[in-house]
Amino acid sequence: MPLEIVTIPCLSDNYAFLAHDPASGQTALVDAPEAGPILAELTARGWRLSHVLLTHHHWDHVDGLPGILEQHPAQVIGAAADAHRLPPLDKQVADGDRFEIGGEPVEVLDVSGHTVGHVAYYLPQSAVVFTADSLMALGCGRLFEGDAKQMWASLSKLAALPDETSVCSGHEYTQSNARFAVTIDPDNTALLQRVHEIDQARAEGRATVPSNLGEEKATNPFLRATDPKIQAQLGMVGADPVAVFAEIRGRKDRF
């Protein structure tokens, strides 16, 4: 049976996630933006944390951890490459490593670009990937530490996962991402329909995360630097996908 995934809004626009195995009772938390909402969700469900999975060192993904661990001592897992600036880790992991939660394998993917040492966690049996600030709904993270080549490689790695994969990303940025995406891909009917659905969801106060990877592949311009229509829109027909991606990222930074 797949793990039960719970999305927890935190701060002003962050998300944390719980992944719970009913059979074993094991529960993993992915990122810890703030303690209050996460502790409240655990209490309401009667769950105890067994693992905490950290994606990268930014404060809005780790600052809630001390308060959470006070009530839920758990194994803290994060990237070896980022260990020097993450909270203390019980287990250090790298690209290609595997471990288990509730008997389900968790695959570690290095998705550096937003930061160097950023990791994602892919659970193939549950068909979910926790991407934080690498791949986002209709977007990707800013290149604070990595470069375009690095981020394009990371996004390509994530895009190679099955279409049915749920993408649990770290922020509610989808509506602003959608407004930008239309400027890059204005004739994409799937994108235009998705923009309408996103606007409706936000008007009703509903989250747009998780998203579906197949839909991201069809509508997220940051995954589609090889698309001839996008290349033509940018005046970059036949260009290196890294250069096309860099142009898209640069335009979003100025948007």
Tokens of 113: 């670009």
CA gap 168, 81 in Å, rounded: 22
Predicted confidence (pLDDT) per residue in 73-100, tens digit: 999 999 999 999 999 999 999 999 999 9
The domains located in the chain, with CATH, are 4-254 (3.60.15.10)
Q: What is the average pLDDT score of the chain?
A: 97
20 is in an annotated binding site: no
Predicted confidence (pLDDT) per residue in 5-14, tens digit: 999 999 999 9
114 is in an annotated binding site: yes
Question: Which value, to the nearest 10 degrees, does the dihedral of the CA atoms of residues 177, 78, 120, 65 take?
Answer: -40
pLDDT for position 99: 97
Q: Residue 140's beta-bridge partner residues?
A: 135
Phi-psi region of 127 (alpha: psi -120 to 50; beta: other; left: phi over 0): left
82 is in an annotated binding site: no
Residue 1 has pLDDT above 90, yes or no: no
Roughly what angle, to the nearest 10 degrees, separates helices 148-159 and 241-254?
100
240 is in an annotated binding site: no
60 is in an annotated binding site: yes
Three-state DSSP class for residue 243 = helix
63 is in an annotated binding site: no
Give me the helices (H) in 75-221, please.
148-159, 174-184, 189-203, 213-219
118 is in an annotated binding site: no
Residues with Cβ < 8 Å from 152, sequence gap 6 or more? 113, 225, 241, 242, 245
Predicted confidence (pLDDT) per residue in 32-49, tens digit: 999 999 999 999 999 999
Percent of the chain with pLDDT over 90: 100
Predicted confidence (pLDDT) per residue in 203-238, tens digit: 999 999 999 999 999 999 999 999 999 999 999 999
Residue 200 has pLDDT above 90, yes or no: yes
